[in-house]
Chains A and B, each alone.
Chain A
C-alpha cells in the first residue's frame, strides 16, 4: 500500500481553481453567513404559497372525503399513487450517491452527495403524504403499524405489499436521515466555530452535537459511515422493489410482470438523478459553486441518466415484446396493444410520451458535447421527470381503466382541482425544505471535499505531471516498493 496521493491526469479535477483548505471553507460556508438574497425570498414565498394550497386541498379531502378527487371504482388509484411512486423514485438518487457510489469509490460523489441526500429526504417526505391522506380516515393512520395491540384480534395484513411499503419506506427514511445528518456534523461544527453571533454559535453548536474534530470523533464517524453505507445499499434496491410489488403481486395484466422490481429501481435512479440535475444546475449558479459542482460532475450524472434510461428502455421493450406478442395471453395483449401502444386509444398518447421522454430522449447523452451542455442538461432533466411521472401514470391508469367488465370501463379520468392542488402542495413542501436547506446548511459536504482535494483538486493534479509521464514499472519501484 502506498500513501502516495496520485490520480491520473486523464481524470478531470473534481475541484477547479487554485484551492486550499481555507479557501474551500470560505466558498462553501460563506453563503450561509450572508443575508438571504431577494431572489431567495421570492422563491421561498412562492414555495410556501404552494404548500398552503396543498394544505387547503388536503383539508377539503379530509373534511369532505375522497370524493373530492375524481377517482372512481375502476380507476381507484390515479394521481395520488402516481405522485407517490414518482416522489419515492426521486428519493433514490441521494442514497445511491452516498451509499453505492461510496462503495464504488466514485470520488465525484463528494461534490453532490449532500444536496442529493437532502433532496432524497424531502422527496420521501412528499411521497409519504399520498398514501397517508389517501387513507380517507387519516386519524386511523396508526393502524398500519403492527404494534402489540389493543385492538383485539385486529392485525395489519402482513401479506399485503402496501404494508411492506410502510416498513420499507420508513426504514429508508430513517437510515437516509441518519446518513445525511451524521455527515453534516463536522460541517455544522465548522459553521459554529466561524460564527460571529451568540445565537448562531448556540444553534449550530446544538446541531453539531459537540463535535470537536478529535481523532476519536473522526474514527467513529468513519466507521458509522461505512456501516450506514452497508445498510443503505440494500435499502436503495428494496424500497422501489417493494413499490413495484404493489402492482406486480396482483393478477392485473400490465401490473403482473416479473421484471418490475429491477426495472423500477433503475427508473427510480433515473428520475432521481434528473431531479438532482434540475436542482444543482440552479444551485451551483446561484451560490457560485461552479468550482465544486463542475462540468465533470454534471457529465457523470448524465452518464448515469443515459445508463439507467437505457436499462429502463430495455425493460419497456421486454415488457412490450412479451406482453403484446410472446405471451399470447388475451388480456396481456389487450393492455399492451390496445390500452398502451395504440396511440389512438384514450391513453395511448401517454404511453408514447413516456417512451419518448424516458427511452428516446436520454440517448442524446451518448454525445459528450450534449452531456456537457448546461442548457440541454437542464431541459433534459425536466423531460425525464415528466416522462417518469407518465411512466407511473401509464402503469397505474392504462392497466385498469378498461378492466375485465366492460360495463365498468372508465375511459375518461382527469384530476380534480384538489388532486392537482395536493400534488402542487408537495412541490411546495419540497421546495420550501430545499430553500431552507440551501440557506442554512452547507450544501456541499465540506469535510469530504477536503478529503479529496489533494488527489483531485486542479492545482494538486497539475503537480502530478512527473508521475503521469513516468514509466509504470519504474514508478512502482520508486514510489511503491520504497515506501515499504
Chain B
C-alpha cells in the first residue's frame, strides 16, 4: 500500500516549463510585433486583430474545457455514479485550473472590451451601433457593462463552487472509512453543491456565456443552438483530457485502482459525446441550410463560401468534421480501441485539437475574415495555455492523494467491470 503521493517526474516539469516559456515568448513577441495596441478598425491593423482573436479563441476554449471537467464530476455525483470514483481526482485536478485560467481569460476579455477592440466585437463600436437599428435595440445586452459583470460573476462562481466540490472530496482523506450515517450526510452535501454548480453551469455555459463571448462576434447573427453546441464541444474535449491524464498516471504506476474497464467507460463518453456534438452540429447546420434565410446562412457563407466561390475557411470547416466526427466515430467504435492506451491517447489528442479548431472557426471568420492564419502565433499561444493547465494539474496531483479511498462508493469503483 503506498500513500498515493505522486512525485512529478522531471520530464513533466521540463515540458511544462518549455510550453510556458515558448507560449509566453510567443505572446510577448506577438504583442510587440503585431502592434497589439493599434486601433482595431475593420481591415486595418490585421496583425493586431490576429493577436486578440487568437487569445480570445485560446482562453475561452481552454477555460471552458477545464471547467467542463467539474461539470463531469457534478453530474456523476448527482447521478450517484460509483464507477468513476477511483479516477475522480483526475477531473478534480483539471478543474483546479479554473481559477487561474479564469483570471487569465478575464484579463484578456477586459483588454478586448476596455481597449475597444471593435475588430473583435463589432458591438463595441458606439458609433456603428448608433446607426444600426438592430444593434441599438440590443445594446443593453451587448454592452461592456453587462459583458464584464456577467463574465466576472461566472468565472468567480465556477471557481468557488468548484473549489467547494474539490474540498469536500479532499476532506475525506483526513478521516478514515465513513460509517453509514456519515457517508450518507457526506453524499447529501456533495449532491447539494453539485446541483448548485450544475444549475449555474446551465445559466452560463449552456446559455449566456457562449452568446456574449463567442456568438456576439457576429452580432447580427443568432442561433438558439449555439450555446449547447459550445458546451458539447468543450465537454468532449474535457473527457479526452481526462483520458490522457489517466493513461499518463497509469503509465507512471499511479491510480492503481483504475483499470482498463474505467478507461473503456471514459472512451465511451468520448465516443458518445463526439456523436452528440455531431448531432448538434448537424441540427444547427441543416436547419439553417434548409430554410435558407440570408440573415442566417451568412454565418456559413462566411465559412464555407458559396457554390460559386469557396470561402476562406472551406478547409477548416471540413477538417472540423473529420477530426471531431469521422475520426472518433470510426476509431472509438470498437471495444478494443477504447481500452488501448495508445489509441485512446492519440484519439484524445485529435479530439482536443479538433475542438480547438472548432473554436478557431467560431472566432476567426467574424474577426480576421480572410486574413486568418494557422501559424506559429496560433500554436505558440495554445502552448502557453496548455502549459498553464499542465502546471495547475501537476500542482494538484502532487499536493493531494490520487486515491479518494474513503469515498463511500470507492469499493464499487474498485470492482467495476463493464
Contacts and interface: CB of A to CB of B under 8 A. Distances in A.
Interface of A: 1-2, 4, 6-11, 103, 105, 234, 237, 241, 245, 248-251, 256-262, 303, 310, 314-315, 317-319, 322-323, 325-329, 366, 467-473, 475-477, 479-480
Contacts of A258: 223-226, 283-284, 287-288
B361 interface: no
B228 A262 contact: yes
B206 A314 contact: yes
A6 B415 contact: yes
For B202, B225, B411, the residue with the greatest tally of chain A CB atoms inside 10 Å of its CB is B411
A322 B224 contact: yes
Interface residues of B, number: 56
Contacts of A2: 414-415, 417
A8 B409 contact: yes
11 contacts: A8-B82, A8-B408, A10-B80, A234-B275, A258-B284, A262-B228, A262-B280, A317-B207, A319-B224, A475-B411, A476-B257
A159 to B, nearest CB: 9
Q: Which 8 A-B pairs have the closest CB atoms?
A: A259-B224, A258-B225, A261-B283, A2-B415, A328-B134, A1-B417, A249-B290, A472-B410
A429 B415 CA distance: 47
Contacts of A366: 195
A446 B180 CA distance: 31
Nearest to A106: B79
Nearest to B410: A472
Nearest to A475: B411
Interface string B33-51: 0000000000000000000
B143 interface: no
A475 B288 CA distance: 56
Nearest to B257: A476
A261 B282 CA distance: 10
A371 to B, nearest CB: 12
B177 interface: yes
A248 to B, nearest CB: 5
A235 to B, nearest CB: 13
B232 to A, nearest CB: 9
Given A257-B287, A467-B411, A468-B180, 8 more contacts: A1-B417, A7-B412, A8-B82, A260-B287, A315-B224, A329-B295, A469-B177, A472-B410
B137 A328 contact: yes
Given A259-B228, A318-B224, A472-B410, A326 B195 contact: no
A257 B224 contact: yes
Contact of B414 (A319, A322, A472): A472
Contacts of A314: 202, 206-207
Nearest to A464: B411
A10 B408 contact: yes
A135 B137 CA distance: 44
Contacts of B288: 258
A7 to B, nearest CB: 7
A257 B226 CA distance: 11
A101 to B, nearest CB: 11
A250 B291 CA distance: 6
A327 B279 CA distance: 24
Contacts of A467: 411
A473 B405 contact: yes
Contacts of B83: 105
The residue among A8, A248, A322 with the most chain B CB atoms within 10 A of its own CB is A8
B224 A10 contact: no
Contacts of B414: 2, 472, 475-476, 480
A262 B134 contact: no
A241 B415 contact: no
Contacts of B227: 318
B144 interface: no
Contacts of A318: 207, 224, 227
A249 B180 contact: no
A249 B291 contact: yes
A471 B415 contact: no
A472 B195 contact: no
A29 B211 CA distance: 55
Contacts of A1: 261, 415, 417
